[in-house]
């Protein structure tokens, strides 16, 4: 699977746009680290550190794109050996919940006990726009 919106998220947005079907946006968005593409269900290749962190998209989207407006940090990270976080998944809950989307991040190695940071602007969601 190429990274991007989860099928259920994409379908909900399209149905809302084209069929006037109500879509309830999540009240918060949570991010989880992965060591490879999370797949269509967001469950493939999770990092050993499975804690989801709430992510803030505080600025209005522009040009079909939105990015995080606050850094995200995991402290005293769990790991077995060295891991490289190369992907992320987004969820509507801190545990369980619904998979919303996935994306690629610059691989960043970590070991047990490290602090892992994702800077402001590191998580970007895009829609292709024609104009």
Pick the closest to residue 54 from 4, 110, 105, 118 (CA basis): 118
Rounded CA separation 70/50 (Å)? 20
pLDDT digits (tens, 9 = 90+) for 8-67: 999 999 999 999 999 999 999 999 999 999 999 999 999 999 999 999 999 999 999 999
The stretch 83-91 carries a mean pLDDT of: 94
Q: What is the CA radius of gyration of the chain?
A: 15
- DSSP per-residue codes, 16-56: HHHH-------SSEEEEEESS--TTTT-SSB-S----EEE-
**Structural contact between residues 40 and 10, judged by C-beta atoms closer than 8 angstroms:** no
**pTM of the complete model:** 0.91
């Amino acid at each position: 699977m190429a990274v991007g919106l989860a099928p259920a998220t994409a379908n909900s947005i399209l149905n809302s746009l084209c069929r006037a079907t109500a879509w309830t946006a999540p009240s918060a968005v949570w991010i989880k680290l992965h060591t490879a593409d999370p797949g269509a269900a967001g469950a493939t290749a999770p990092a050993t550190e499975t804690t989801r962190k709430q992510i803030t998209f505080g600025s209005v989207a522009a040009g079909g794109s939105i990015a995080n407006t606050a850094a995200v940090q995991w402290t005293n990270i769990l790991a077995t050996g060295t891991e490289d976080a190369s992907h992320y998944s987004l969820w509507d809950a801190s545990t369980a919940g619904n998979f919303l989307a996935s994306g690629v991040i610059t691989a960043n190695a970590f070991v047990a006990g490290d602090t892992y940071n994702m800077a402001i602007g590191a998580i970007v969601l895009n829609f292709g726009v024609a104009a």
